[in-house]
Amino acid sequence: MNEFTAPVPDETDATDLVVTGALPTELSGRYFRNGPNPRPGEFAPHWFMGSGMLHGVRLRDGRAEWYRNRWVKFTDVGFVRPDGTLDYRGGPANTSVLEHSGRLFALVEQAFPYEIDRELNTIGYCDFGGRLTTAMTAHPKTDPVTGELHFFGYSALPPFLTYHRLSATGELVESRPIEVPGPTMMHDFAITENYLVWLDLPAVFDFALVGKTMPYRWSDSYGARIGLMPRTGGTVTWHEIGPCYVFHVGNAREENGQVVLDAVRYSRSAFQGLWGDIGGTADDTPREAHRLYRWSISPSGVREQQLDDREVEFPTHNEARTGRPNQWLYAVSGDAVIKYDTRSGAADVDARGDGWHVGEAVFVAASGETAEDAGWLVSIATHDHPEVPSRLLVHDATEVAAGPVATVHLPRRVPAGFHGAWIADATALEGEVR
């Protein structure tokens, strides 16, 4: 582990934050970021473990009104009931934030979602009226046309993979098991207009690791494949690919009779190196970088293509293009925010300098604009030095290389974490405290 991932020991509030540059007045809402932050004394030998902590910044009228951080208060129950079934009420909800149908959720892939409010208070776990009987991925996908939410749950026990669909109004309307050979860690997936894109990859569950660390390891024998499942129903068509792992998908689309998937690919070496680094067992074994790749899937096979030499993670896009053709993709690499042109391969880069680590850049669309990149990128940058406060960066997404148009100086160090979300005031619930 590194200093920039070390947890903070408490919850705090601050108001009237200092801003360098000019915050766009159109940014009226809240940026929330989730990540693991073990409570003092909590056992968390792996970066993926430990209680979730939400960090929030309230922007309005060109001002940064407040910062606050809160632990997600999850139900402390074991994962296995006395009858041997899994109990999904207990889980640290430490990975991402989702808004759907006016409700907010903190997510982790091993448990039920936990509902939160716009002041970062925990309401409690949600099983959608008892209909959800599996865990819920931390990476659901909202169809921008239908408003439906597609997601899945994976499990150490059969069924190993289950697909779910929420209506645009938040009702769980479909659940169905998907047959896979065994229990794997399926962290992300993708949708297109007509397909669900499954990633059945060789990070397998190992009962011997339970209670010691994250109970998943690389398996040379499991294999790797991408599955296409029609959204209207039917069987999954599986396509074998070279051994690899994918934590995060950029986007997928249908193009010229193919399904095209852009995602960050880990070779065996890259996966093992990262898993050791974040699990406390790092060594000096040389490792490859994890890079942006493209898979083009057609009836005749799969074409795999590396898109960039940089080591990148946390790819994002304008979510109005989820599952549809997108020209622009955003990612981070150490101290840098990157804007990729998926058509030409060109990249614009803004690097913050030595010691800074930039987290996932969330795209916020400008109101009324039709251009795909009209909007802003919002991210948190954290420094190696534990005494240096973190910063909220706001980039103009059309001119990333120009640097942030505004920097909000946060009152404390925010540990490097996982995923965030922009909650615009237009989506606020009636009666919300502002």
- Domains of the chain and any CATH numbers: 3-427 (2.130.10)
**Residue 273, helix vs strand vs coil:** helix
Q: Are strands 216-218 and 203-205 parallel, antiparallel or unpaired?
A: antiparallel
DSSP letter (8 states) at residue 401: G
In this structure, are residues 261 and 190 in contact, taking their beta carbons and an 8 Å threshold? yes
Amino acid at position 182, single letter:
G
Q: Please tell me the chain's helix, strand, coil percentages from 3-state DSSP, rounded to the nearest 5.
A: 5, 40, 50
Tell me which residue of 313, 323, 215 sits closest to 261, measured CA to CA: 323
A 10 A CB-CB count for 169 gives: 11
How much is the pLDDT for 74? 85
CA distance 384 to 400: 23
How much is the pLDDT for 369? 79
How much is the pLDDT for 78? 67
And the tokens for 325? 């053709």
Q: Using alpha carbons only, what angle is made at residue 268 by residues 262 and 274, rounded to the nearest 5 degrees?
A: 85
**Residue 52, helix vs strand vs coil:** strand
How much is the pLDDT for 85? 81
Question: 3-state secondary structure string, 292-324?
Answer: EEEEEEECCEEEEEECCCCCCEEEECCHHHCCC
How much is the pLDDT for 77? 67
CA distance 114 to 105: 5
How much is the pLDDT for 282? 64
Written as tens digits, the pLDDT of the chain (434 aa) is 567 789 999 999 999 999 999 999 999 999 999 999 999 999 899 999 999 999 999 999 999 999 999 999 987 766 777 787 888 998 899 999 999 999 999 999 999 999 999 999 999 999 999 999 999 999 999 999 999 999 999 999 999 999 999 999 999 999 999 999 999 999 999 999 999 999 999 999 999 998 899 999 999 999 999 999 999 989 999 999 999 999 999 999 999 999 999 999 999 999 999 998 898 666 677 789 999 999 999 988 999 999 999 999 999 999 999 999 999 999 999 999 999 999 999 999 999 998 999 999 999 999 987 899 999 999 999 999 999 999 999 999 999 999 999 999 999 999 999 999 999 997 544 334 33
In this structure, are residues 172 and 128 in contact, taking their beta carbons and an 8 Å threshold? yes
How much is the pLDDT for 428? 44
Cα 126 to the chain's mean position, in Å?
Answer: 19
How much is the pLDDT for 434? 34
And the tokens for 426? 């237009």
Tell me which residue of 119, 146, 130, 124 sits closest to 58, measured CA to CA: 119
pTM over 0.85: yes
For CA atoms 285, 265, 277, 220, the dihedral sign is negative
* Rg, C-alpha atoms of the chain: 20
In this structure, are residues 12 and 69 in contact, taking their beta carbons and an 8 Å threshold? yes
How much is the pLDDT for 280? 66
